[in-house]
Amino acid sequence: MQHNAEEVLATKPVHTRSNNNDGSTGPNTSPTATFHHHRAGLILRDTAIYCAAEHYGLPEALKRLALRKQGLRTGIAVEVILRSARFAYEHTPESEDQLRARYLAMIIRSRAVFKASGTMQLEMERGHPFFFDLFVALCNHVDDLEGRVAVAEVGL
């Protein structure tokens, strides 16, 4: 899907809420972690940077930096993560596996939070292609866990 520069980069800064009791933001919850995209809504800034680098053929170092910074983020709302994942899927080719895999891994690691989220259920009912990839990733994760249990049982 081709998008023009305004669609990929249109931004309006939005501050994230602090997770600290003192009202300050920690190193991972920077007030610039998210921004409002005119079509997607509130998304992670690092995702938009990665997608813009992909779209415009910018150096791989920029995409790696965006992935690294995104990996440091914590305390991001489920809705923002899911919206950002949809944005990533819509603004990268199907062959792109780094950013997409990052979102799948993030959800698997935080599955308890996502499982309890009514937002997750609502999004899944909408049927975005992201959720089939998530299903496959979860199946692979379970297969890996079963393999480890089998190896551990043989070693007893």
Domain spans in the chain, listed from the N-terminal domain onward: 5-154
Nearest alpha carbon to residue 106 among 139, 140, 70: 70
Amino acid identity for residue 60 in this structure: E
Per-residue pLDDT of the chain (156 residues; tens, 9 = 90+): 444 433 333 333 333 343 443 333 344 456 778 989 999 999 999 999 999 999 999 999 999 999 999 888 878 888 999 999 999 999 999 999 899 999 988 888 888 888 888 888 888 888 888 888 888 888 888 888 888 887 777 766
CA atoms of 95 and 85, how far apart (whole Å): 15
Instruction: Report yes or no on whether pTM surpasses 0.85.
Output: no
E-strand ranges in the chain read: 12-14, 34-37, 41-44
